[in-house]
Amino acid sequence: MRTFVAATAVVSGLALAGCQTVALPSLNLNTAVTLNTIYGIENAYGVAVNAANAYKALPLCRTGTVPSASNLCARRSVIERLQAAMRRARTAVNNLVGLQKAYPSVDITNALSAAQSALIGVQQVLASGAQ
């Protein structure tokens, strides 16, 4: 359930970040849309980080056991894969924010795609940990 809620929130954030087409009450529409896009990605990243931390806080599964309803535990291999994915997501989201700050009028499409892909990677590892 927890994983489902986290996954839904991540997907909502990513979807939101991908479709900012609503007219906004701002003098500089491009900037407002860019900021909202980045903020959506950022909050999806926040949900993913919290889900990852909640997973890591579970006791590690004992060798030879698997997670189940009566054995709530985290697999070491999943945490390690999650850490690798999270490292990529952290870099990608920070690159996105840094790029927009340094060059507010530059096209952020590539950095945005990189951040979205990295977060989808985190989400996929999280989903695999729930199985």
Partner 1 sequence: MVSAAEIEAGLAAAEAIVSAIVKVAPAIEQGVISSIPYVQAIAGLIGGSNATPEEIDAVLARIDAAADAFLEPLPPDDGSTAT
Site residues (CB under 8 A) for partner 1? 2, 5-6, 9, 12-13, 16, 22, 24-26, 32, 35-36, 38-40, 42-47, 49-66, 69-73, 75-77, 79-80, 82-83, 86-87, 89-90, 93-94, 97, 101
Q: Give me the least distance between CB of 113 and partner 1, in Å please.
A: 19
Q: Give me the least distance between CB of 117 and partner 1, in Å please.
A: 17
Q: Give me the least distance between CB of 108 and partner 1, in Å please.
A: 13
Residue 68's CB is within 10 A of a number of other CB atoms, namely 9
Cβ closest to partner 1, residue 86 vs residue 114: 86
Cβ closest to partner 1, residue 104 vs residue 113: 104
Alpha-carbon distances, residue 106 vs 54, 92, 99 (angstroms): 36, 17, 8
> What's the rounded Cα separation, in Å, for the pair 79 and 58?
11
Cβ closest to partner 1, residue 70 vs residue 107: 70
Tell which residue, 78, 74, 76, 6, has the closest CA to residue 44.
6
**Alpha helix stretches (DSSP H) within the chain:** 2-18, 29-57, 76-102, 109-129
